[in-house]
């Protein structure tokens, strides 16, 4: 069916070649409940700075293995914790969702995927099917538009001038993605300018892009991209000052990255940290976050390092090793794909960084009929579940045939994109 979809021109050019041949379906109450758990988890994570680290965000950064240079960037912005604007990457094992990582911040991919939902509904046969079974979907783009307008409220009472800003060279590297985001945001009344950090200026305390004054900067650069770029770091300082002065809003600051680290999820399974949680908070952690621990011996708040490593060696086939900060599955080692020696070496090499070990979640197979051959195959799905202050904010899926690997990410050329419809 994917080849019959009539997609908007830019979205079709950007993603038309990586679409799955079907949408995916999920019970609406189930995914909304998962999003509510994500809200709770985020509240717990941001509270740990006060509960466990005496209000010191730098101490939190050290606890999750973040290096000093990145921590410095994330701690330059003072103030309250960032508002919740996130996308969970999760697997569904046939019984429930399990959280693999929580991408907190403004630099989220997939916010324009409702273009696929609308295209499917434009196919008469599917529209009849959707009506018969009461299928629905939630468009993430208007939620982003609303968040940008809220951020702009202290700056302007008019429709805000918004610019999506990447790191130097980042816009050109992923231009097709940003053009599709701009197309989707225009449908919701937001005229999105595109630029890179070196194109920003400052006039009377207000940020400008190629001379145009900006009300909101939608940040798509991350700390790792600018940590060694002095000029970019100076631009960040200018952005933070403009935000604090109420001249140009920065949506959102780099401090989001503290809570996006997989090390933050690992803290939730650290015995000493767990002792600070309430029974209801522990229940959310245990049903949502697979067992996850930091490996660096300097980061162990509770428990026995030697016992942890012994457990990791004994349970290799059911574990995965990941960098705390990373994207696209880079640096991931899956236990059952390594032998004992390779696994031991991977554990040893992770001892001095922010790596985590996590219980492997096996996603339930999603049947997909190949549009050309008619053959049905089971695909693994990585669910991207958006959540904000209001709760569930839409979803999309990246899917992969098991024969094409185990890491479901667009860095793997076999990965395909699909939209999500909810059922009542």
In this predicted model, what pLDDT tens digit does every residue of 347-368 receive, in sequence order? 988 876 788 999 999 999 999 9
Model confidence at 284, in pLDDT bands (50, 70, 90)?
very high
Model pLDDT, residue 2: 42
Q: What is the pLDDT of residues 193-251, one digit of tens each?
A: 999 999 999 999 999 999 999 999 999 999 999 999 999 999 999 999 999 999 999 99
Model pLDDT, residue 78: 64
64-73, 181-190, 326-335, range with the lowest pLDDT: 326-335
Q: By C-alpha distance, which of 90, 59, 72, 66 is closest to 323?
A: 66
16-30, 150-164, 298-312, range with the lowest pLDDT: 298-312
- Quick check: 398 and 416 in contact, CB under 8 A? yes
Instruction: Give the CA-trace dihedral at 373, 374, 378, 379, to 10 degrees.
Output: 60
Q: What is the pLDDT of residues 32-47, one digit of tens each?
A: 999 999 999 999 999 9
What's CA 232's distance to the chain center, in Å? 23
Model pLDDT, residue 262: 92
142-146, 304-308, 374-378, range with the lowest pLDDT: 304-308
- Quick check: 244 and 284 in contact, CB under 8 A? no
pTM: 0.94
Mean pLDDT of the chain: 93
Model pLDDT, residue 3: 45
DSSP string computed for 355-408: -EEEEPP-PPPEEEE-TTT--EEEEEEEEEEEEETTEEEEEEEEEE-GGG-S--
Structural tokens at position 364: 């339930």
Model confidence at 287, in pLDDT bands (50, 70, 90)?
very high
Residue with tokens 């693994």: 380
Cis peptide preceding 252, ω within 30 of 0: yes
Q: What is the pLDDT of residues 78-107, one digit of tens each?
A: 678 899 999 999 999 999 999 999 999 999
> What residue spans of 95-206 are helical by DSSP H?
114-121, 124-133, 140-152, 170-173, 175-186
First to last CA, the chain: 24
Model confidence at 1, in pLDDT bands (50, 70, 90)?
very low
20: left (phi over 0), alpha (psi -120 to 50) or beta: beta
Model confidence at 373, in pLDDT bands (50, 70, 90)?
confident
Instruction: Using the predicted structure, report yes or no on whether residue 300 has a pLDDT greater than 60.
Output: no
Q: What are the counts of helices (DSSP H) followed by strands (DSSP E) for the chain?
A: 17, 18
Model confidence at 303, in pLDDT bands (50, 70, 90)?
low
Residues 138-147, buried b or exposed e (16+ Cβ, 10 A)? bbbbbbbbeb
Average pLDDT of span 112-116: 97
Share of the chain above pLDDT 70, in %: 96
């Amino acid at each position: 069916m994917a080849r019959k979809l009539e997609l908007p021109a830019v979205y079709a050019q950007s993603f038309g070649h990586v679409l799955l041949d079907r949408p995916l379906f999920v019970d609406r109450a189930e995914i909304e409940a998962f999003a509510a758990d994500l809200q709770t988890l985020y509240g717990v994570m941001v509270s740990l700075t006060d509960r466990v680290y005496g209000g010191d965000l730098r101490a939190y950064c050290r606890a999750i293995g973040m290096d000093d240079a990145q921590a410095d960037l994330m701690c330059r912005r003072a103030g309250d914790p960032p508002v919740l604007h996130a996308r969970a990457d999760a697997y569904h094992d046939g019984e429930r969702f399990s959280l693999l990582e929580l991408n907190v911040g403004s630099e989220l991919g997939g916010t324009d995927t409702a273009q696929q939902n609308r295209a499917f509904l434009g196919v008469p046969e599917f529209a009849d099917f959707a009506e018969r079974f009461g299928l629905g979907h939630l468009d993430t783009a208007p939620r982003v538009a609303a968040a940008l307008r809220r951020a702009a409220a202290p700056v302007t009472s008019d429709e805000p001038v918004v610019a999506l800003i990447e790191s130097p060279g980042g816009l050109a590297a992923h231009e097709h993605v940003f053009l599709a985001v701009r197309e989707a945001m225009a449908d919701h009344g937001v005229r999105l300018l595109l630029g890179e950090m070196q194109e920003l200026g400052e006039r009377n305390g207000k940020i400008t892009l190629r001379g145009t004054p900006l009300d909101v900067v939608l940040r798509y650069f991350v700390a790792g991209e600018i940590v060694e770029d002095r000029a970019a770091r100076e631009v960040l300082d200018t952005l933070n000052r403009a935000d604090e002065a109420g001249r140009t809003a920065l949506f959102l600051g780099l401090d989001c990255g503290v809570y996006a680290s997989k090390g933050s999820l690992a803290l939730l399974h650290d015995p000493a940290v767990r002792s600070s949680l309430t029974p209801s908070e522990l229940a959310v952690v245990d049903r949502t976050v697979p067992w996850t621990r930091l490996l660096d011996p300097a980061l162990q708040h509770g428990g026995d390092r030697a016992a942890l490593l012994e457990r990791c060696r004994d349970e290799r086939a059911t574990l995965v090793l990941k960098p705390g900060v990373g994207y696209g599955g880079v640096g991931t080692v899956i236990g059952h794909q390594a032998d004992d020696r390779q696994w031991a070496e991977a554990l040893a090499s992770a001892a001095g960084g922010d790596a985590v070990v996590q219980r492997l979640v096996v996603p339930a197979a999603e049947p997909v009929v190949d549009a050309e051959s008619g053959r049905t195959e089971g695909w693994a799905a990585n669910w991207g579940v958006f959540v904000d202050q209001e709760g569930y904010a839409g979803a999309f899926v990246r899917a992969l045939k098991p024969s094409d690997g185990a890491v479901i990410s667009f860095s793997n050329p076999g990965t395909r994109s699909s939209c999500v419809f909810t059922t009542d």
